[in-house]
Amino acid sequence: MSLYGRILLLNAAVLVVAVLLLLGPVTVSTPVLPREAMVLGAGLVAMLVANAVLLRIGLVPLRRLARAMGTVDLLRPGDRAAVSGPGEMAELTRTFNLMLDRLEAERATSSARVLSAQEAERQRIARELHDEVGQTLTAVLLQLKHAADQAPAGLREDLRQAQETTRSGLDEIRRIARRLRPGVLEELGLHSALRSLATEFTTPSLSARTHIGPGLPSQSDETELVLYRVAQEGLTNIARHARARTAEVQLTCGADGGVDLLIRDDGRGTGDASEGAGIRGMRERALLVGAALSIRPGPSGGTDVRLEVPKAEKADR
């Protein structure tokens, strides 16, 4: 029976009993006698208590659904409200869960389009940096070398300095282009790309190393790109915010036949800081391949960022 029907039935039963009592053994005189007032008061209290208990029990599923609505996050899919309660409450909860299914599917589809467009734009910018800006700076370097060779001694040193500045700018342009378009990933594969990435982030104040487990299953190009980008963003966050001395990138076999990527550091941890655009981007990338991303404190301080990619056929489904 619906909540409306139960409340209506309970109130009707209480009123019918009250009318029968008034028509039968219970009478009300004028002025009202104390005994009669007690009977009427007890009936009123009984009706209010019964309604309160019924509403309290009947609205529990609605409060549970409200809590689920307040905590839902499309970047953490899978959480659903428990279906319970009377007919219309259970139907409302089922409808809400179906709406979440549709929203998560639409979010994953739109994120895939956005990230694909983003990767295409990165490749275009990387090509232009390499082909246009890189070639222009190379030509400038050659002109400066020629000018330095022909210049008098007093001017030669200034031209050498300009050469070094231009060469540093060219190296920076190439580094940015490599980060925008990981050519090593396309040419040598994920394992070499992760090792190169760790080498790139290694500085005098940060030691980054890579551990690649044996027997890793092959992954699609899309999955390898997601793994690389998550590792890249994780190392970028460590270099910018963690104040860590060491960082490690581990790629190992997962429990279900997939792969696990772990980025671990010994820095100051995340504390109570809210998730920024970088972490949200990692979560969106994880959705593309059906992976689960978790961020937890490390076993000896710092932060563990773990990406669990399911087996290929599961991810395809």
| Residue 111 in domain | no
Instruction: Return the H-helix or E-strand segment holding 228.
Output: helix 221-237
Instruction: Give the CA dihedral 61, 63, 67, 70, nearest 10 degrees.
Output: 120
| Residue 91 in domain | yes
| Residue 97 in domain | yes
| Residue 36 in domain | yes
Q: CA of 305: how far to CAs of 25, 202, 293, in Å?
A: 75, 19, 7
- How many separate domains does the chain show? 3
189 and 310 inside one domain: yes
pTM over 0.85: no
Residue 263 sits at the vertex; the CA angle it makes with 125 and 278, to the nearest 5 degrees, is: 45
- pLDDT of res. 2: 66
306 and 195 inside one domain: yes
Could you list the residue range(s) of the whole structural domain that residue 125 is in? 119-180
234 and 197 inside one domain: yes
- Per-run averaged pLDDT (10 residues), the chain, 317 residues: 70 74 65 74 78 74 78 71 73 84 79 74 79 83 84 82 87 80 78 89 91 88 88 90 90 86 89 76 84 87 90 54
155 and 58 inside one domain: no
- pLDDT of res. 262: 94
218 and 150 inside one domain: no
